[in-house]
Homo-oligomer: A and B are copies of this chain.
Amino acid sequence: MRADAERLAGVLKAIADPARLRLLSLIQSAPEGEASVSDLTAPLGLSQPTVSHHLRILTEAGLLEREKRGVWAYYRLVPSTIAAIADLLTPPRKRAAKRAR
């Protein structure tokens, strides 16, 4: 439990930033659930290097995966990391009910 908590605290620290929360939200709402840096600069109102910096932190935390196609890299959410956090926040009874479904 202590090791899990340490690992998860690191992931949550990566999310606990307004720009990175907005990035995650934009990516998960994007067509096909993926976006490139150039898709994200305008809606966030941030420069390309700043967006790239935030994307790197989210990728290193295991929240995003990066796929290079041609000259662009595309980012999408990693469902298992997101599920682990959502699971942590679901009370044990609800979690058991979900599994039984």
Identity of the chain B residue whose Cβ is nearest the Cβ of A11 in the assembled complex: B16
Per assembly, the copies of the chain total 2
Specify the main secondary structure of chain A where it touches its partner. Answer: helix
- Establish whether residues A12 and B1, one from each chain, have CB atoms under 8 Å apart when the complex forms: no
CA distance A38 to B62 in the complex (A): 36
> Given the complex of chains A and B, what is the CA–CA distance between A13 and B92 in angstroms?
23
Pick the contact of A8 from B1, B21, B86 — CB < 8 Å?
Answer: B21
A16-B12 in contact (CB<8A): yes
A9 and B5 contacting across the interface, CB-CB below 8 Å? no
Which chain A residues have a beta carbon within 8 Å of chain B's beta carbons? 1-2, 5-6, 8-10, 12-13, 15-19, 21-22, 24-25, 28-29, 33, 77, 82, 85-86, 88-92
